[in-house]
């Protein structure tokens, strides 16, 4: 069995009056992600981790933010396409582990819905997806609520 590990990272600026999408679900908050797509940092980090593990570069190569095709796109579509890309190469997802870094809003009550949504899009069991969240104790751009970031690690097998 061929096992591959990939990691992903994404960051987006936050601004008032925009929607906040995390893990494929809309989160009620007064600020949202500034982005070409829907700005779902969690899904973008997962896509990068999956693509990296498969040796397929990164999300910007496959879904460039300069393309009108991806303007405002639902990031779940990008994740679905990413999973299809690795399936074509014979890979399947072993597990995904993620960390969301944001000062507010508190999202622990949203995490079960995120896991359910992500596992359905990736066509894996919910037990293969883990999402954690942390603040930065009011330090840095995340602590000042200027931005949000996400990290993801994935194991693929062939």
Residue numbers in the known binding site are 10-12, 36-37, 44, 58-60, 134-137, 141, 144
Closest CA to 14 of 102, 139, 74: 102
CA angle 149, 41, 72 (to 5 degrees): 140
CA angle 120, 121, 126 (to 5 degrees): 35
Separation between Cα atoms, residue 153 and residue 5, nearest integer Å: 7
Binding residues for a divalent metal cation, by number, are 10, 12, 44
């Amino acid at each position: 069995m061929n096992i591959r590990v990939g990691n992903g990272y994404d960051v987006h600026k936050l601004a008032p009056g925009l929607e906040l999408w995390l893990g494929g679900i809309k989160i009620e908050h007064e600020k949202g992600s500034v982005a070409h797509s829907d700005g779902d940092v969690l899904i973008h980090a997962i896509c990068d981790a999956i693509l990296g593990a498969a040796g397929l570069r990164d999300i910007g190569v496959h879904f460039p933010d300069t393309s009108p095709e991806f303007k405002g796109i639902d990031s779940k579509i990008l994740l679905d396409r990413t999973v299809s890309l690795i399936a074509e190469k014979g890979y399947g997802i072993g597990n995904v582990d993620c960390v969301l870094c944001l000062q507010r809003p508190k999202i622990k009550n949203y995490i079960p819905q995120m896991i359910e949504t992500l596992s359905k899009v990736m066509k894996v069991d919910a037990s293969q997806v883990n999402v954690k969240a942390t603040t930065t104790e009011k330090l840095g751009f995340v602590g000042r609520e200027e931005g949000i970031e996400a990290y993801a690690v994935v194991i693929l097998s062939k």
